[in-house]
Structure 1
Amino acid sequence: MRTSYKLLGLFLVLTMVACKQTKKVEAVANPEVESAEAKYDIPASWIEKRVEAAHKKLNATEAGKVLWSAMEAHGGLDKWFSNGYLSFRFNYQPLNGKGIRDSYQTIDTWSNKARHNSIEDPTSIYGWDGEEAWLKAKDSTSFAYDTQFWALTPLYFSGQPFVLDGEGVNLELLPEQEFKGATQKILKATYDAGIGAAPDDYYILYINAETNLVDAFKYIVSYPQYFPNGGHAPEKITVSQGTTTVDGIVFATGFKTYWSTTDKDGLGEYITKIDVSDISFSPTVEDNFFSKPEGAEVLNK
């Protein structure tokens, strides 16, 4: 990648961060801007109640105990919900050059709302407000992929294992395996019918028996828009590439995705490189940040 492109990418990311965190950048110039911000106002009592419920539910089964230990190793469910709005750049790069998806996104981890900005054109945006998927772009080439499907997909990479705390998630503990020289606790997560956009999806987490960190996970894509007659894409396995700790939460700094096989370690052809960067939490976003902006198209009509 040329240096000029790297500098341009950095400039665009910094520009988006500045737009998202208006108070930090513009409060001095405009003292009234705070009234146009939405604060992360989840009461501590709500978070405590949700975490206690998850702890009680998960520690009632051996599979749940494994997931809870992974959440603790990654920083804890309480901190995950207390830190505020999560932002990061997620650069998904298939090695065949097709379907590259590079965006800077902000997620409301409490209610799973999302807003993405294109890295190439920060004025092109899309999101999920909890009920509607929306898109606002200069033309049809701005996002050459299904933005409705992708709005929350990166969270299910970078948010593991925390994204499995909710209702309708079923856990099964599978036999331990050796993976890349380390013993792994194997945990399969499936969903009740009607949960999410693709309830037939599953995840199989490889949780390091020594560190309790998620070293890898297998998954399938069964999104009905892609498979209207049922079925799913072949199973893939995604392997974490390094970690960083941000406000007490341990994140992978990237992933390598392979086709899943029955060979040693289950790693088939290497197909996708993912870089995760510019990870941060913030207590505020612009008012109505996740809502459909004026001029945007509603996707899930």
Structure 2
Amino acid sequence: MKKALLLLIATIIFSCKTESKRDNKVDVTLEVKSEVFPMELGKVFQKHGGINIWRKAQILSFNKGKEIHTADLRSRKTVINTPKYSLGFDGMEVWLSEDKKGIFKGNPAFYYNLYFYFYAMPFVLADDGIIYEKVDDLVFKGVKYPGYKISYKENIGTSPDDNYIVYYNSETYQMEWLAYTVTFSSKKPNDLFHMIRYNKWEVVSGLVFPKEITWYKMDESGLPTEPEKPATKFTLPLLSQGKIGASFFEKPIK
């Protein structure tokens, strides 16, 4: 699927990989406009490299297993390429292309940007149309993690009723946990939160992105207890100020 374009992306990632590995420091000197979001979240963004670097970037790419995820950070057009299928969002509609019908298991409209959001935390929490609300600390093994709830104004995205809560280290401001709800199918708000732990990171072109994330089981009070399944790992990260042509995000013609 899209072999020529896959080769292009692989070449870009390879050529930029060496540069990314040399990034051993994060520039946290850039100013953050505190009036846009709470000051504490501003410090979280700064800990992860700074919101200004994020806003200058054009393309974000990473691998999840055999999936190559590539997103245009301005338009949020997205493509997921694998050896047997590809799917994406071309700016107008979500599409799926398979070598054989039924290979992809799931809903393309739900899946195409799912891991982009998990991977691009905490920076996607600075998108337009967001409402911030301070919440009670999360307590895990005696450690308190302050948090902010993120909700969306009406008609923002495909699931405006989704809620996220980002919890961070009270001393370092490193993001540590993400709680989130899923309303894609029901289209109704709910209080059933899922919990992900972020505890392995790497620096990519000046920003800090997760190397892996782990879903946790939760007790009756909604607190995390133990890992629910093995960690999801990310590889070959790329953050670039370059651009990719619009045709890359279109459904391939067979």
**Residues in 2 aligned to 1:21 and 1:284: alpha-carbon distance in whole angstroms:** 15
Aligned residue for 1:199, secondary structure, equals coil
Aligned residue for 2:248, secondary structure, equals coil
* 1:19 maps to 2:8: yes
**Residues in 2 aligned to 1:213 and 1:152: alpha-carbon distance in whole angstroms:** 23
* 1:115 maps to 2:76: no
Aligned to 1:291: 250
Alignment identity in percent? 25
TM-score, normalised via structure 2 length: 0.81
**Residues in 1 aligned to 2:34 and 2:13: alpha-carbon distance in whole angstroms:** 39
Aligned residue for 1:186, secondary structure, equals strand
Aligned to 2:209: 251
Aligned to 1:143: 104
Aligned to 2:36: 58
CA contact (8 A) 1:201 1:221 kept: yes
What does 1:80-229 correspond to in 2, within 5 Å? 80-91=54-65, 103-118=67-82, 121=83, 124-223=85-184, 226-227=185-186
What does 1:21-60 correspond to in 2, within 5 Å? 55-58=33-36
Moved over 4 A (4+): 14-17, 21-25, 262-265
* 1:70 maps to 2:44: yes
CA contact (8 A) 2:215 2:229 kept: yes
**Residues in 1 aligned to 2:4 and 2:167: alpha-carbon distance in whole angstroms:** 37
1:285 to partner: Cα distance = 3.0
- Tell me the alpha carbon deviations over residues 209-241 of structure 1, each in whole angstroms, 9 at most, x when there is no partner: 112111011111110xx226x355842100013
Aligned residue for 1:288, secondary structure, equals helix
- Tell me the alpha carbon deviations over residues 138-190 of structure 1, each in whole angstroms, 9 at most, x when there is no partner: 12232111121111111211111110112221111113343345432111111
- Tell me the alpha carbon deviations over residues 66-87 of structure 1, each in whole angstroms, 9 at most, x when there is no partner: 2111111111111113233111
Unaligned runs of 5+ in 2: 15-29
Residues 1:287 and 1:231: Cα distance change in structure 2 (over 3 Å):
closer
Aligned to 2:197: 239
CA contact (8 A) 1:16 1:117 kept: no
Count of aligned residue pairs for this structure pair: 237
1:245 to partner: Cα distance = 0.5
1:284 to partner: Cα distance = 3.9
Unaligned runs of 5+ in 1: 1-13, 26-50, 92-101, 296-301
Larger Rg: 1
**Residues in 2 aligned to 1:289 and 1:236: alpha-carbon distance in whole angstroms:** 33
Root-mean-square deviation (CA, aligned residues, Å) is: 3.0
1:272 to partner: Cα distance = 5.7
Comparing 160-169 with 181-190, greater Cα deviation is found at 181-190
1:112 to partner: Cα distance = 1.4
TM-score, normalised via structure 1 length: 0.69
1:262 to partner: Cα distance = 4.6
- Tell me the alpha carbon deviations over residues 48-73 of structure 1, each in whole angstroms, 9 at most, x when there is no partner: xxx98x725335xxxx1121111111
CA contact (8 A) 2:13 2:237 kept: no
Residues 1:76 and 1:227: Cα distance change in structure 2 (over 3 Å):
same
1:290 to partner: Cα distance = 1.5
Aligned to 1:273: 231
Residues 1:173 and 1:132: Cα distance change in structure 2 (over 3 Å):
same
Letter in 2 for 1:18: L
Higher helix share: 1
CA contact (8 A) 1:218 1:260 kept: no
Residues 1:24 and 1:158: Cα distance change in structure 2 (over 3 Å):
closer
Residues 1:227 and 1:264: Cα distance change in structure 2 (over 3 Å):
closer
Letter in 1 for 2:101: S
